[in-house]
Amino acid sequence: MDDAKGLAIAFEEAKISYDEGGIPIGAALIAADGTVLGRGHNMRMQLGNPILHGETSALQNAGRLPATSYKGATMYTTLSPCDMCTGACLLYDISRVVIGENKTFLGGDGYLKQRGVEVVVLDDEACRSLMEKFIEEKPDAWNEDIGVEERVYSKEGIKRPSS
């Protein structure tokens, strides 16, 4: 599956979450052969579940899979993955992570690369616009999602790049 198609699935999920009143982050786990293993979106607001982010939702919806299913798989996500979702990608040895955008928030991109994961940032305007709209509308919900009291770009103190 090409990256535009994989990200389109993740973005559909992000829009679903936004329409449900949730945080607009979507993800899709795609096998090396192009099969969609799982797709999902952030459900923290909808279900009151603090660990059901986009990527973990996609993994949950994929269900129990043998370790070989993740070999060569790509996680498509609309936003740079947080520490928890970065860890989930590493735990399951996901080979590639394709990120819609990392301008509104920079998560574990560098750590994924350091651990040998191929990371592709598409700098997608639709992903960024939806996330910026949500952060403007519900800043407290966004801060809660990433575990901070005040808006940050990166938990490592990295400054937000100019757009």
CA distance 37 to 154: 30
Please give the distance of CA 123 from its chain centroid, rounded to a whole number: 13
Please give the distance of CA 144 from its chain centroid, rounded to a whole number: 16
125: annotated active-site residue: no
CA distance 62 to 99: 19
The pLDDT tens digits for 80-132 are 999 999 999 999 999 999 999 999 999 999 999 999 999 999 999 999 999 99
Q: What confidence tier does 143 reach under pLDDT thresholds 50, 70, 90?
A: confident
Tokens representing residue 76 in the block: 């498509």
Instruction: Note the helical H segments in 39-138.
Output: 44-47, 54-62, 83-91, 109-114, 125-137
Residues 12, 20, 55, 101: which is the catalytic one? 55
The pLDDT tens digits for 2-60 are 999 999 999 999 999 999 999 999 999 999 999 999 999 999 999 999 899 999 999 99
